[in-house]
Structure 1
Amino acid sequence: MKILKSACIVLTSLLLSSSVSAQTQAQSPEFLQYEHSTWVDSVMATLTPNERIAQLIMIAAYSNRDDEHRKEILKQITENKIGGLIFFQGGPARQAKLMNEYQAASKVPLLGAIDAEWGLGMRLDTTISYPFQMALGAMQEDSLIYDMGVEVARQIKRVGLHLNFAPVVDVNNNANNPVINYRSFGENKYNVAKKGIAYMRGLQDNLVLPTAKHFPGHGDTDTDSHYALPQINHSRKRLDTTELYPFREIIKAGIGGVMVAHLDIPALDSTGVPSTLSKPIISGLLKEELGFKGLIVTDAMNMKGVTKDNAPGIVDKDAILAGNGLLEFTVAVPKAIQEVRKAMRKGLITQADIDNRCRKILALKQWVGLNNYQPTSLENIIEDVNTPEAKLLNRRLTEASLTVLKNEQQILPLQKLDTLKIAAISFGKKKESKFQKSLSLYAQVDNFNVPNEVTPEQLSAIKEQLNNYNLVIAGVHDHSSYPRNDLKLSSEAQEFLSELIKSKTTIASFFKNPYVMDDVKDIENAEALILTYQDSENSEDLAAQLIFGGVSANGKLPVSVGEKFKSGEGLEVKGGLRFKYTLPEDAGLNSELLYQKVDSLMQKAMDAKAIPGGQLFIAKDQKVILNKAYGYHKYSDTIKVKTTDIYDLASVTKVSSALPSLMKLYDEGKFDLETGIDTYLPYFKNSNKANVPFRQILAHQAGFQPWIPYWKNTLRKNGSYKWHTFKKDSSSRYPVKVASNLWLHKNYQSKIYKAIKESPVKEVKKYEYSGLVFYLLPGIVEKISGEDFVTYVDDNFYTPLGATTLTYKPNNKFSIDRIVPTENDFFFRKKSIHGSVHDEGAIMMGGVSANAGLFANANDLAKLLQMYLNGGSYGGVQYISEETLKEFTKYQFPENDNRRGLGFDKPSLGERTENGNAAKDASELSYGHTGFTGIMVWMDPATDLLYLFLSNRVLPTRDNTRLYSLNTRTNIQQAIYDAMKN
């Protein structure tokens, strides 16, 4: 019975073992199906023994070297019949052209490989660099890494190549690793394996062979195998459980290639030979134990880790004897072939073995399509590897990697902007950084820079100025395009950063290798700490957006940072609070169609001298997809328009000052649409405007006169000013500035009110645009609220929105160089208008009116308008109720053929035309306004679309109406809708 019981136990054990083995058996790489195909057989029949060996050899090629290099590569192809090329530095077009030439010279189509761990940008100029694997290791969405693999595969094939020596699946558990480090997904073996498999599948599903590297694991070393042979002194058990884990998993997942590192690992091979030359490691461990059947590739055979004490050619032969199937970067091809032949004659390796490896190479060539080789097209190759979709993927990967390690009091995203005085300090930058520029899109931010070697005088000046700020945003920048594990900031700069964190409310954004944080004193004590893993345009831009709630963060730290932070830490911060600045494809628009059309229409308008320049702003779903400046301030100017420049908004002031105020007061029950002007201004009680409901007035259906040329009453018949109306100097009697040498009498505004009061009112109530009431609205707002009008709109809207440039009297706040000029006024002010409002009535009101007077750049005005689109909410604040916005922006009297809302313009009723006041495709829910100086703003709730057009078409004269005849503004608006359809 004991014997029978024992036998049953053994049998059960064997069955379980067999079951586990079957479950974990590696998938056979797809390309192996072609090992005995007709094409492979036919090629094999043409190859000599030497040529079969040569198929296992890949040499280095460059597209940024001279003609001598090109001739040397051709010689290797024609004389030695090598099997492939690995391309290093150069450019995509040059490389593709060379590869075409090399393929034409080759007896058998060549395999083309590249190290594209983070995309073609790792080797080629004018191409995309995706985030390094350390950043990808922080991501929680592995599907995005698959998408990256798909896109990298597409780009690799587009430049005529077939192999990517990626992904890196080394577990980086040594912070001092000089060669893997940021190239690894991190220290967590499970995370490394999952992300490595996702990247592998993206490549392999699209017929680019990936190679997992650097087998059996290069993560735990402080030696760079490019310069010496690293030794890893771990037990076999430790290697099995940690270093080998990702390789085992990715092999089970069916990867087609594995690259072997140059390492000395006594637990696996006690002879001290590099793993590349080790039969126990390659044939024993990788092939037999792990069951890998795909292509085994050496690391570069010119690296010191393998060439030290090993002669060229001989070392290549030893790599073949160890079991490798492809030699990368062989430097002595004839010698290598000769040495392998010698080994064959000595019986160290058989012809059958070489043939099997040769067949594997040929099978791979068939799998990638080289059996039907076609030259690579050079047409549009730069554009094809830099598509908008590829760029958007890059931004999505960066955004998904953002990691927040501290967020005390939920300071992120920033709220209550009206309570903040913000200083942005870029450490390690000598001039304004992209980070600082992006921060300034959201609020008033004053910039300071602390270079690596900052002087005591520089620090002293900055410290003194910082007394005026209650929030510091510190960006710690890298000195290199690669996030190396070092810190170049001087001890003085580091100490200053530490002082800031201890003395000020500080948000720190770390644009460096995470390991470096261990050397930065007090960085862990910042109120908020953001880690981006590297310093790039995308990382700086998106970190700034994260701070203000434009984007989210949910990254997790993939490595431990000393005792400060542990792997897996990371807080979630939700975005969507304010604008996200992104690419059109992120909002479902076709960027090529959009940019081409709007740029063309803007250029046409500038060429026709309809406008000297302008700003365009487009946002969909609160995603800013265009914020662009065009042309110049003046036709004869050299000052180019910038997106930060400020334009006179003319009548768009109506929907940007008085209307938000009235809507807020309406919400509070303090303003009634069914009452008249006289309810709030008793001066109008006995006028013909008494009891006319505001609903009719704001809908331009009250019968009011369109406008009154107040300024004409200040001039004599000969054109000179009436002496009692204007003086050249200011005084208590003449306090209203109209121009630098023109001051208006203090009582003249009462004459404007009187003119409005006594103006006629038509009996027939139909749509006729009138701006008269907008001169009165600031006084009405003041009467109801008890506050100064400018203070009211500033405190309730502009400042909390972060709309820094949305202001009256901009020349009191901003440099004149930032303010775009308007008309050369030859009939009233008799000078060029620059820095003050263009509208004569508004300037006679002291520059403050609800009819005109506001200035802004497109970005700041858009914040107010996006708040409307959001149903009255922006930045976490509800300014106006959604119900009130719907009431003010709907058609009020459509039965009377009146297209207006309350103050807002709306699309024409009935059938639309191409020359209408809004795009043909704008919905009936849409609304907006235009301005006399060449402004147009429009919002469409049906598509969540926001459009702003800012220009100074009145320069040099208001008689320039070409902008209207070209219909530029609505044509651009229609182009946006067209781009949404494609």
Structure 2
Amino acid sequence: MQNRSPSRRTVLTCATAVAAGAAGVVGVTAGPAVAQRRDSRLKNILARMSIEAKIGQLFVPYFYGASATSPSRLDQERNLEELGVRTVAELIAKYHIGGVIYFSGWTNNIHDPHQIAELSNGVQRASLALPTPVPSLISIDQEHGVNVRIGSGATQLPGAMALGAGRSLSDARTAARISGTELAALGIHQNFAPVADVNVNPANPIINIRSFGADPRAVGRMVAAQVTGYQRSGVVACAKHFPGHGDTGEDSHTGLPVITHTREEWERIDAPPFKAAIAAGVDSIMTAHLQVPALDPSNEPATLSPAILRGVLRDELGFDGVIVTDALNMQGVRTKYGDDRVPVLALKAGADQLLFPPDIGVAYNGVLAAVRTGEITEGRLDESVLRVLRLKDKAGLLSGSPYASRREVDRVVGARGHRLTAARIAERTTTLLVNEGGALPLRGRQRRLLVVGASPAFPTDDTRTTVPELARAFDGLGFRTTRLATGREPDSAKIDEAVAAARGRDAVVVTTDNVDAASPQRTLVSRLLATGVPVVHLAVRNPYDIAHLGDVPASLASYCWTEVELHAAARVIAGRVEPCGRLPVPVQRADDPDKVLFRSGHGLSYGTV
């Protein structure tokens, strides 16, 4: 891999930066004269595009493979079956694609930083070989916490609810800056983050700890801080999921949720974070596949609703950036219309980028037919393409080489300074909920530990799981640990094994993941408490778990099970650092949900016990 200079053909199409100092800094607001000159330049590119090329600029599809031109034979077969081409380079050429999205695991796009950067360069080479060569806007969902695509080699940072517990705008901004800097070095210039949803429903199956919390104004401040951090690093931020996905009990991947908030409730609960993002200069906002009758009585999914996208987001909130659909393969947007009509209706509603169509050929040809028949005018098409070109320009893709550099990857991605900063931020998010009788920190004589409990796999590496990683963290602090993963559904034999393993230990650290009234994890904790061995509980996902666990003498929340959060929790439990996180959501009583067990803002320190 090498840092290539753009070809002469590229230079003719991709002009130099409009304003000194603005290149590569997304979200910089240009003055009217500068913006006019920029748009004049971009319209010259637009004028050279065919209708087919314009339509392609709006699509952001997935693909299989770790290479743009030579993926594995299996990945070529999967591409051929689902996309009609063998490689992403062929996909770009066939449909004039303007952007792609990377995933880990199932698409096999992501292995290590050098491979990702070379994949990005291959995508750009394919994009610059088009008749009208325009660099690709490469996207990813790198929210951190539970939703991570790039794991190994990159800096892992606390997720949204953890940052909400830390309550530091500086930490939220710094985390986004670190993440954005590393993504940009890998050739990725659009991150579908931060989540701007307000999680007021503890049973929310899709948002939950991906949200900064339950207080709309506090969430808004964190969202604005992250928008600033990402966009100062040269990466397009994306506030999601408009008009708000925080009070749903259904997953829009599998159904069409309904938000029952009144207009006044929407203004008070859901709108503030999006308003804050817009005030911070966010350059893209993602739609939600859900119904909001108070905003659109027709009950169209928000993604397909002119009343919501044009009426509320554009006209009322004044957002003139790029509107991105949530993934068009999700059931929530496919309940009423065919896959050829969904992208057409999204564009007519006001969307600009069409993310992850389930069948790119059907979706692309559906839009092409709508343009040819006049259902979508060329003027409407140009409106969205111009917005996408502005994003590319702000990200620096039209002002120089769009290629990633091996040297920059080695310098930036997973840098020691980034990892140390991430560790310090995580320490400030770990929340101590219960500490009866000064059970924590663990005393010097409590060196023999059993680490036991639910052990979800890391978001990006299913070979690494919670219990072994937490045990390794304690080993590094001088403890002698025994480890036993019992899972989220331990049976009686596994619980008996855990109880037997606790005997002779000085303390037990038990992890839980999504406990509810019927969860056998409750029995595990109860049986461990009955041994008389001091028990420390760590919720490695939802902070709501504690409501189901009775009189646990010590309980903490880490808000996720990634390495950075587990090691921070271990340092807090061991007393190496003071716990200072505070709940960003209230925790209701399990036996009476109308009553609060712990209020938002609750959090103990060792000095307050």
- Per the normalisation by structure 1, the TM-score is 0.51
Match of 2:419 among 391, 402, 405: 391
State the Cα distance separating 1:96 from its structure 2 match.
Answer: 2.6
Mapped pair 1:532 → 2:561: no
Q: Identify the residue that residue 511 of structure 1 maps to in structure 2.
A: 540
Q: Identify the residue that residue 283 of structure 1 maps to in structure 2.
A: 310
State the Cα distance separating 1:556 from its structure 2 match.
Answer: 0.6
Q: Identify the residue that residue 737 of structure 1 maps to in structure 2.
A: none
Q: Secondary structure at the match of 1:213?
A: strand
Cα deviations by residue, 1:324-350 (Å, 9 ceiling, x for unpaired) = 111111344454454445545665443
Check the 8 A contact 1:31/1:364 in 2, yes or no.
no
State the Cα distance separating 1:461 from its structure 2 match.
Answer: 3.7
Q: Identify the residue that residue 553 of structure 1 maps to in structure 2.
A: 579
Give the distance between the partners of 1:105 and 1:440, measured in 2 at CA: 48
Check the 8 A contact 2:146/2:560 in 1, yes or no.
no
Give the distance between the partners of 1:199 and 1:484, measured in 2 at CA: 30
Mapped pair 1:243 → 2:243: no
The 5 Å alignment of 1:870-881 reads none
The 5 Å alignment of 1:65-144 reads 66-68=75-77, 69=79, 71-89=86-104, 90-91=110-111, 92-106=113-127, 107-118=133-144, 122-126=148-152, 127-144=154-171
Check the 8 A contact 2:558/2:565 in 1, yes or no.
yes
Q: Secondary structure at the match of 2:602?
A: coil
State the Cα distance separating 1:394 from its structure 2 match.
Answer: 2.3
Give the direction of change, closer, same or farther, for the CA distance of 1:443–1:73 in structure 2 (3 Å limit): closer
Q: Secondary structure at the match of 2:62?
A: strand
Mapped pair 1:55 → 2:84: no
Structure 2 residue ranges without an equivalent (≥5): 1-25, 80-84, 105-109, 128-132, 456-464, 590-596
State the Cα distance separating 1:120 from its structure 2 match.
Answer: 12
Check the 8 A contact 1:121/1:129 in 2, yes or no.
no
Give the distance between the partners of 2:372 and 2:362, measured in 1 at CA: 15
Give the direction of change, closer, same or farther, for the CA distance of 1:35–1:104 in structure 2 (3 Å limit): farther
Q: Identify the residue that residue 475 of structure 1 maps to in structure 2.
A: 510
Check the 8 A contact 1:453/1:490 in 2, yes or no.
no
Amino acid paired to 2:223: G
Give the direction of change, closer, same or farther, for the CA distance of 1:532–1:349 in structure 2 (3 Å limit): same
Give the distance between the partners of 2:236 and 2:432, measured in 1 at CA: 35
Amino acid paired to 2:585: V
Cα deviations by residue, 1:702-741 (Å, 9 ceiling, x for unpaired) = xxxxxxxxxxxxxxxxxxxxxxxxxxxxxxxxxxxxxxxx
State the Cα distance separating 1:457 from its structure 2 match.
Answer: 5.3
Cα deviations by residue, 1:728-783 (Å, 9 ceiling, x for unpaired) = xxxxxxxxxxxxxxxxxxxxxxxxxxxxxxxxxxxxxxxxxxxxxxxxxxxxxxxx
Amino acid paired to 1:262: H
State the Cα distance separating 1:356 from its structure 2 match.
Answer: 2.3
Give the distance between the partners of 1:28 and 1:443, measured in 2 at CA: 47
Check the 8 A contact 2:146/2:210 in 1, yes or no.
no
Q: Secondary structure at the match of 1:507?
A: strand
Q: Secondary structure at the match of 1:60?
A: coil
Give the direction of change, closer, same or farther, for the CA distance of 1:567–1:335 in structure 2 (3 Å limit): same
Cα deviations by residue, 1:86-111 (Å, 9 ceiling, x for unpaired) = 11122333333233222222222111
Match of 1:566 among 562, 581, 599: 599
State the Cα distance separating 1:176 from its structure 2 match.
Answer: 1.4
Amino acid paired to 1:231: V
Amino acid paired to 1:40: L
Q: Identify the residue that residue 44 of structure 2 maps to in structure 1.
A: 42
Match of 1:213 among 235, 240, 251: 240
Q: Secondary structure at the match of 1:74?
A: helix
Amino acid paired to 1:548: A
Q: Secondary structure at the match of 2:428?
A: helix
Q: Secondary structure at the match of 2:86?
A: helix
Q: Identify the residue that residue 570 of structure 2 maps to in structure 1.
A: 544
Q: Secondary structure at the match of 2:582?
A: coil
Q: Secondary structure at the match of 1:509?
A: strand
Check the 8 A contact 1:438/1:541 in 2, yes or no.
yes
Q: Identify the residue that residue 711 of structure 1 maps to in structure 2.
A: none
Give the distance between the partners of 1:295 and 1:201, measured in 2 at CA: 17
The 5 Å alignment of 1:828-839 reads none
Check the 8 A contact 2:540/2:558 in 1, yes or no.
yes
Give the direction of change, closer, same or farther, for the CA distance of 1:167–1:450 in structure 2 (3 Å limit): closer
Give the distance between the partners of 1:275 and 1:531, measured in 2 at CA: 34
Q: Identify the residue that residue 491 of structure 2 maps to in structure 1.
A: 453
Q: Secondary structure at the match of 1:283?
A: helix
Check the 8 A contact 1:314/1:335 in 2, yes or no.
no
Check the 8 A contact 2:240/2:285 in 1, yes or no.
yes
Q: Secondary structure at the match of 1:227?
A: coil
Give the distance between the partners of 2:388 and 2:172, measured in 1 at CA: 28
Check the 8 A contact 2:180/2:229 in 1, yes or no.
yes
Mapped pair 1:293 → 2:320: yes
The 5 Å alignment of 1:920-931 reads none
The 5 Å alignment of 1:944-959 reads none
Give the direction of change, closer, same or farther, for the CA distance of 1:310–1:186 in structure 2 (3 Å limit): same
Check the 8 A contact 1:453/1:493 in 2, yes or no.
no
Give the distance between the partners of 1:414 and 1:190, measured in 2 at CA: 37
Q: Secondary structure at the match of 1:30?
A: coil
Q: Secondary structure at the match of 1:240?
A: helix
- Per the normalisation by structure 2, the TM-score is 0.79
Give the direction of change, closer, same or farther, for the CA distance of 1:198–1:309 in structure 2 (3 Å limit): same
Give the direction of change, closer, same or farther, for the CA distance of 1:338–1:149 in structure 2 (3 Å limit): same
Amino acid paired to 1:279: P
State the Cα distance separating 1:495 from its structure 2 match.
Answer: 2.8
Q: Identify the residue that residue 783 of structure 1 maps to in structure 2.
A: none
State the Cα distance separating 1:365 from its structure 2 match.
Answer: 1.2
Match of 1:327 among 354, 365, 384: 354
Amino acid paired to 1:83: G
Mapped pair 1:499 → 2:499: no
Give the direction of change, closer, same or farther, for the CA distance of 1:73–1:484 in structure 2 (3 Å limit): farther
The 5 Å alignment of 1:163-178 reads 163-178=190-205
Check the 8 A contact 1:63/1:98 in 2, yes or no.
no
Give the distance between the partners of 1:448 and 1:377, measured in 2 at CA: 42
- Equivalent pairs counted in the alignment come to 534
The 5 Å alignment of 1:743-892 reads none
Q: Identify the residue that residue 430 of structure 2 maps to in structure 1.
A: 402
Check the 8 A contact 1:313/1:333 in 2, yes or no.
no
Give the direction of change, closer, same or farther, for the CA distance of 1:84–1:487 in structure 2 (3 Å limit): farther
Give the distance between the partners of 2:410 and 2:491, measured in 1 at CA: 39
Give the distance between the partners of 1:82 and 1:421, measured in 2 at CA: 58
Give the direction of change, closer, same or farther, for the CA distance of 1:506–1:105 in structure 2 (3 Å limit): closer
Structure 1 residue ranges without an equivalent (≥5): 1-26, 576-982
State the Cα distance separating 1:352 from its structure 2 match.
Answer: 2.3
State the Cα distance separating 1:438 from its structure 2 match.
Answer: 4.5
State the Cα distance separating 1:379 from its structure 2 match.
Answer: 5.3
Q: Identify the residue that residue 963 of structure 1 maps to in structure 2.
A: none
State the Cα distance separating 1:227 from its structure 2 match.
Answer: 1.2
Amino acid paired to 2:76: D
Q: Identify the residue that residue 295 of structure 2 maps to in structure 1.
A: 268
Cα deviations by residue, 1:396-416 (Å, 9 ceiling, x for unpaired) = 22211110112334443355x
Identity %: 31
Amino acid paired to 2:125: A
Give the distance between the partners of 1:305 and 1:357, measured in 2 at CA: 23
Amino acid paired to 2:172: I
Amino acid paired to 1:560: P
